[in-house]
Structure 1
Amino acid sequence: MGFFKVTENVTWVGKTDWELKKFHGEEYSTHRGSTYNSYLVRDEKTVLIDTVWQPYAKEYVENLKKEIDLNEIDYIIANHAEIDHSGALPELMREIPNTPIYCTQNGIKSLKGHYHQDWNFVPVKTGDTLNIGKKDLIFIEARMLHWPDSMFCYLTGDNILFSNDAFGQHYCSEFFYNDLVDQAELYQEAIKYYANILTPFSKLVENKINEVVALDVPVDFICTSHGVIWREDPLQIVNQYMEWAKDYQENQVTLIYDTMWNGTRRMAETIAQGIKEVNPEVEIVLHNCGRKDKNDIITDVFKSKAVLVGSSTINGGILSSVAAILEQMRGLRFKKKKAAAFGSYGWSGESIKMITEELQKGGFEIINDGHKTLWFPDAASLEECIAYGKEIGNSIK
């Protein structure tokens, strides 16, 4: 845990977590680890912005002591109460128990709910300011981006937006700035983060960005709470969020399936062939959701104009991995995407109807009643799958 200066008076005091593979319990895959970004702002007053995840609390506080006498910290800002940002607060507050903690009213409720402590909370709302000497910190509530308590704060003079979870990525690198890391990796982690976490709040994202832009303040850095700091053309990620927030789609179709004896897999491959025959420009991606990472699948759903979901019928239902990905898709509330079902069966064939119903619950526009094949597809069945693929391909031109 080495610290570095972002500007002359702003120091990164966070934690890099190279070993992290799962986040939000087991809900989010972090192939490239993550960082927990915490910042120390020095002026006539000294401010600590956010902390780190609870497993690193003791390490964090001990290292922070090497950077500053903890009693010199005048204020703490908790932009978001989620434990990956606030987890070191109990350890820190044992050392400096009376230090005021600035957060939203919802932040107070959340922090009390997590830690059951009645610390010296100072509630703030959009437009409130905290003078720290030559500079001010301006608070901007960001409700549901992605929790009710979330907020940003803006440091005048240094022109830094401390954006917490917004504009971040679960991405660990020895380089901490957007212009120093692999751009393809950065984009991949940024869109994955948006697709899996922020998609349900896209309208709020759009409104909040418009609100921040209306402040008409210069932004030289966007200091996120996960991943890199945006310093080269920092507003590029803001512009990208605006694009993602507007019912984003690329010219892509994603087929998601699980299969018992490869019949549904064979259908997926053949349907994809039919789509390609009538729509050669479209990109087609296939995922066996029983074997592929679910967050990578969701990222492809986010990018797609149409999604096909397939399952063998089992015990009058669908395979568990398909049920799980459908539930995740429902919760993310995608907009303006088409969908259809397919699958093989042995004697009852309920999977098609069940998948279609779940897709409807998720807000997808249903293309048709779906397509099913009895037993393993023979030559005639594969021709039907080709025809079905052509129908799908023509429906998304």
Structure 2
Amino acid sequence: MRQITSNIHYVGVNDRNKHLFEGLWPLPDGVSYNSYLIADEKVCLVDTVEVDFFVQYIQNIREVIGDRQIDYLVINHMEPDHSGSISLIRKYYPEVRIIGNKKTFDMMAGFYGIGDGCVEVKNGDTISLGRTTLSFVMTPMVHWPETMMTLACVEAGRGRGCGCGTGVSLPDDGCATAGSPSATVLFSGDAFGCFGALNGGIIDSRIDCSPFWLEMVRYYSNIVGKYGVPVQNALKKLAGVKLDYICSTHGPVWHENIDKVIGMYDGMSRYATEPGLVICYGTMYGNTERAAEEIARAASEAGVRKIVMYNVSKTHHSYIIRDVFRYRGLIVGAPTYNTGLYHEMEVLLSELAGRDIKDRLIGWFGSYAWASKAVSKIKQWNDDHLHFDHVGPVVEIRQSLDSTTATQCRELGQAMAEALALRD
């Protein structure tokens, strides 16, 4: 299969058929389930793939090791798209020993009824495969409680230290698996992953990475986004480690772009933003949409260059959430519906509230035919859950936009532009 270093190989698969990841997130370009094989004096498989792809998966493994046995299987993350083939791997390789932490094995017993042949590791523990030493870094809640990462470094006992924080001593040519030059490889689980199948190549230096950057933000914001503090804790544990490859369980193997990828995760987990404004709205007959257009025009005229607009009933919310992570400003508007808030806007605000996003500016507007509820409901969401800084007038439109409410919409757009200028 595809080689990363002289003894580390990619044996993952692509899923180009699934429509929704986790039954929730659209996959217009598919997704990869990445697994890696270390062929040393002992053979170690790192994570598995979704069980539906096992036939291709076992062929990929045998292409690398032939009839050799697998000695170890490292499970960095127990979600079934990465652990789903454990039982079948056990059938093909009955002597394999499964490496994980205590929480890994608690989940493995529940998912697959497996409790024997396990090697429990803790933070900083090491296991030698021959020339390769695996070191384990516990990263709980990135994004499940059992998640961990695995560093592959050259064996202990020679030369200088590698600086990876594991205490491993290295020869003069550096830290990692065999090869010239040597390398330090991080198997990161879901961290640093993204949506999108791999179209032939797997290492970033050999492919066009442009489709993956926004998909990394969408992946992070929707799946990992709530866990900014645990991500920061994980980054601190990895600080000072000079990585040559990051092998995530989704998306490309990062090599040339490691600094960019880590920088993106650092920024997203601190809820950092770039200047810009998201305007999202619900509309039934176009009146609320016309208000949104007035707001956007005024914000643009006041100097906001990056403005994205979304109809919450037309655009999948994962793309809206992605851009709320990217931009500091948010303006939402919707009609009153069934004496409450328009359903899709209610859902979106609930989704945003579940991600604990910090340091954002928000404005809102609403419309109604005979009984006003939308604006009060949006205010309640912000007061009780979002806690974003409120900007500008609240615009409430009775039946349709008129000269007074159109002026208020323009005032809201201008106020947001001024607030963004002060922040940015």
TM range (shorter): over 0.9
Q: Following the alignment from structure 2 to structure 1, what is the Cα–Cα distance between the partners of residues 315 and 67?
A: 46
Is residue 2:345 matched to residue 1:316?
no
1:179 corresponds, among 181, 202, 205, to 205
Q: Secondary structure at 1:259's aligned position in 2?
A: coil
Partner of 1:31: 28
Q: Secondary structure at 2:149's aligned position in 1?
A: strand
Partner AA of 1:166 in structure 2: A
Partner of 2:227: 201
Q: Aligned ranges for residues 206-217 of structure 1 at < 5 Å?
A: 206-213=232-239, 216-217=240-241
CA shift, 1:71, in A, is 5.9
Q: Secondary structure at 2:263's aligned position in 1?
A: helix
1:334 corresponds, among 357, 360, 373, to 357
In the TM superposition, what whole-angstrom CA distance separates every residue of 1:255-308 from its partner, at most 9, and x where no partner exists? Answer: 111101111101111111222233x14421110010012111111111121211
For the aligned residues, what is the CA RMSD? 1.8
Structure 1 ranges of 4+ moved more than 4 A: none
In the TM superposition, what whole-angstrom CA distance separates every residue of 1:177-198 from its partner, at most 9, and x where no partner exists? Answer: 2123333312111222222222
2:10 corresponds, among 12, 22, 45, to 12
For structure 1, which runs of at least 5 residues remain unmatched after alignment?
none
Q: How many residues align?
A: 391
CA shift, 1:242, in A, is 1.6
Q: Secondary structure at 1:275's aligned position in 2?
A: helix
1:241 corresponds, among 257, 261, 265, to 265
CA shift, 1:201, in A, is 1.4
In the TM superposition, what whole-angstrom CA distance separates every residue of 1:204-260 from its partner, at most 9, and x where no partner exists? Answer: 2122112111xx443111111101001114233112222222221111111111101
For structure 2, which runs of at least 5 residues remain unmatched after alignment?
154-175, 178-183
Q: Following the alignment from structure 1 to structure 2, what is the Cα–Cα distance between the partners of residues 305 and 218?
A: 32
Q: Secondary structure at 2:281's aligned position in 1?
A: strand
Partner AA of 1:358 in structure 2: W
Partner of 2:127: 130
TM-score for the superposition, normalised by structure 1? 0.94
Partner of 2:76: 79
Q: Following the alignment from structure 2 to structure 1, what is the Cα–Cα distance between the partners of residues 107 and 386?
A: 29
1:267 corresponds, among 267, 274, 291, to 291
Q: Following the alignment from structure 2 to structure 1, what is the Cα–Cα distance between the partners of residues 245 and 229?
A: 24
CA shift, 1:117, in A, is 2.5
Q: Percent identity?
A: 29
Partner of 1:188: 214
Partner of 1:48: 45
Q: Following the alignment from structure 1 to structure 2, what is the Cα–Cα distance between the partners of residues 260 and 17?
A: 36
Q: Quick one: structure 1 residues 65 and 177, their matched pair in 2 at CA, closer, same or farther if it must change by over 3 Å?
A: closer
Partner of 2:253: 229
Q: Following the alignment from structure 1 to structure 2, what is the Cα–Cα distance between the partners of residues 66 and 137?
A: 23
Q: Secondary structure at 2:400's aligned position in 1?
A: coil
Q: Secondary structure at 2:363's aligned position in 1?
A: strand
